[in-house]
Structures are given as C-alpha cells and as structure tokens.
C-alpha cells in the first residue's frame, strides 16, 4: 500500500483508527500495530464481529473470534492476532463496524452518481437496488 492520500473512515482516539488509501485498501491502526486489509476483508471482519455478539466462537477462512479468560477475546486476522481485553472488545467492534458502515455508505453514494443502466448498478442486490431507488 503506497498512497498519496488516505481517508480516515473511523477513529477512536489518536492510536486507534481505520483509514482508506486512494487504492481502496485499508489500514487498521490499533495501538502499536498496523494491519493491512482489503475493503472486502474489512466488511467480512465486520460480519464476523457481528456474529460474535450471538455466537461464542466464529471462524471463517480469513478471520476467527474466540473467547479468552476474564471476558477477553482473541481475534485472528489472517495469521495475525489481537488480544482484546474486556474493555477493548466493544471499542474494536465499534471501530470496525463504523468503518464498514462508512465503506457501504461511500459505495452507495458512488453508485447513486452512476447511471442506473451502468454495469455496476446491475450488479446490485435487490436490497441495495431498492435503497438506491428510494433515495
């Protein structure tokens, strides 16, 4: 990822943020660590974290969420893992969710500016197309 510009799509304090480069890829800054994710990966991570609210452990090809002692959690992203103490879990989940919502919103705004007959519009799901039509 070598970018001229980055857009901060979510932040919690100075050391926890998610930013998107002009190539579309994302950087997750979490304290002393930077993690590089594609847009699809971040959306997938958000899905995993959402599922983790109702399921004890969640595993996908890319991500895993497992409980740890003292109400902590381990979130594996590829071969990198964050240990999230109890107090950090909601912050991490909210950060990723906010970024995912921003990305979805940005995608919709881009789609709205396109012709309804463009190929991108035709690839919308029914729910997304409804939302575009309503707006």
Partner 1 sequence: MYSHLTILAHSTHDGADRQSEHGALHMHWDIATVRLRPNDLLMFVRFLSRWGVSGEPNADEEWCTFSRTEQGTIQLWLGQIGMSVSQAEFTTLIDLVEHAAALLVAGESHSAPPQPKIRDCPALTIDTSAIVLN
Q: Identify the residue among 24, 83, 118, 120 touching partner 1 (CB under 8 A).
A: 83
Residue 78 in the binding site for partner 1 (CB under 8 A): yes
Q: Is 24 in the site for partner 1 (CB under 8 A)?
A: no
Q: How near is the Cβ of 27 to partner 1 at its closest, in Å?
A: 9
Q: Cβ(27)–Cβ(36) under 8 Å?
A: yes
Contacting range for partner 1; rule: CB under 8 A; set: 80-88, 100-108, 111-119, 122-130: 80-88
Q: Which of 44, 77, 93, 96 forms a contact with partner 1 (CB under 8 A)?
A: 77
**Taking a C-beta distance cutoff of 8 angstroms, is the pair 96, 18 a contact?**
yes
| 36 contacts partner 1 (rule: CB under 8 A) | yes
Among 34, 94, 120, 133, interactor with partner 1 by CB under 8 A: 34
Q: Measured from the CB atom, is 10 or 45 closer to partner 1?
A: 45
DSSP string, the chain: ---S-EEEEEESSTTEEEEEETTS-EEEEETTEEEEE-HHHHHHHHHHHHHTTT-S-EE-SSEEEEEETTTEEEEEETTEEEEE-TTTHHHHHHHHHHHHHHHHHHHHHHHHTS-TTSHHHHT--HHHHHHHHH-
Contact between 86 and partner 1 by CB under 8 A: the answer reads no
- Residues near partner 1, by CB under 8 A: 2, 31-37, 74, 76-85
């Amino acid at each position: 990822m070598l970018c001229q510009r980055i857009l901060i799509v979510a932040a919690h304090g100075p050391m926890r943020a998610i930013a998107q480069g002009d190539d579309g890829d994302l950087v997750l800054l979490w304290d002393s660590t930077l993690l590089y994710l594609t847009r699809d990966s971040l959306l997938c991570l958000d899905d995993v974290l959402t599922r983790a609210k109702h399921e004890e452990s969640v595993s996908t090809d890319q991500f895993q969420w497992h409980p740890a002692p003292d109400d902590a959690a381990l979130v594996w992203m590829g071969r990198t893992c964050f240990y999230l103490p109890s107090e950090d879990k909601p912050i991490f989940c909210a950060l990723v969710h906010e970024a995912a919502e921003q990305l979805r919103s940005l995608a919709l705004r881009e789609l709205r500016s396109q012709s309804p007959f463009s190929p991108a519009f035709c690839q919308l799901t029914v729910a997304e197309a409804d939302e575009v039509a309503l707006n």
